Amino acid sequence: MTRLLSPSRCRALGACLATALLAGCGGGHDDDRFDVRAGLRNLMTQPRALTLTGSSGTVSYTLTLTNTPQQAGTYPRTAQVGARSELVSRLWVSAATVDTVSALNHLDSDGLAFGSTDGSGRCTDISSTPTAALPTAALRTQSGPQAVHEEYDSCSASATRLGKAASSWRLVGEDNDRWTMLCVQSVRISSVSMVVGALTEHCHEIASDGTIGARARATVTLSSGTALTMKNY
């Protein structure tokens, strides 16, 4: 015998079905996992050019970030040879260029940085978190250490250390978890700084396999202490 549902039961069932469908349409899930190891490697080794914009009051800001792979070379402080990539950030305030910061990163066979040089003649030794310690299936809420940076006043073996700082990575859901960002904290010891502000974090859309997507945002901390977010979405 066929049993008919009462109107109240139908309404309740309809609400449950609607909730289930909404939960499954678009967006991510708390148990989605992401290959952070591949994502960090892709950020360091693949070419990338971004233009991010933001504003504070009536002042508009534009930040460009470019990563350009270079020919293999020698890190002058330790004579270690590896692949290289150049990361350049430029900041415009109301259409006028005010700051350019360039760093030539020296990479090991896993695409992780072991050293960095800049235009001022300083070198930074970088102890990256070993590849084996970086997760390949991290939850959207996870974070962890990326590297320890030790900056020196020159690139000679007898250079004086200016300071030491650690950087980290984190995963963040965006727009109600419609997509996920891999964020990397930028380290500033002495030489990596901007006149108007300093880049403190840059975030990039990441797929579960570590592929880097088109969306990006960055945070620049202005000399006034104000944190300004710029993005391309």
Per-residue pLDDT of the chain in tens (233 residues, 90 and over written 9)? 444 444 444 344 333 323 332 333 334 566 799 999 999 999 999 999 999 999 988 989 999 999 999 999 999 999 999 999 999 999 998 888 888 889 999 999 999 999 999 888 899 999 999 999 999 999 999 999 999 999 999 999 999 999 998 999 999 999 999 999 999 987 766 654 445 667 789 999 999 999 999 999 999 887 778 888 999 99
Write the single-letter amino acid at 44: M
Nearest CA to 39 among 168, 147, 135? 135
Write down the domain spans for the chain: 29-231
Position 28 scores a pLDDT of: 54
d(CA 163, CA 142) in angstroms, rounded, equals: 28
d(CA 204, CA 191) in angstroms, rounded, equals: 24
Position 134 scores a pLDDT of: 95
The neighbour count for residue 208, using CB atoms within 10 Å, is 15
Whether 44 contacts 67, CB under 8 Å: yes
Position 49 scores a pLDDT of: 97
Cα angle value 11/13/19 (rounded, 5°): 105
- Tokens describing residue 157: 């073996």
- Tokens describing residue 42: 């892709």
Helix, strand, coil abundance in the chain, percent, nearest 5: 15, 55, 35
How would you label 96-105 residue by residue, b for 16+ Cβ within 10 Å and e otherwise?
Answer: eeebebebbb
Note the pTM of the prediction, 2 decimals.
0.81
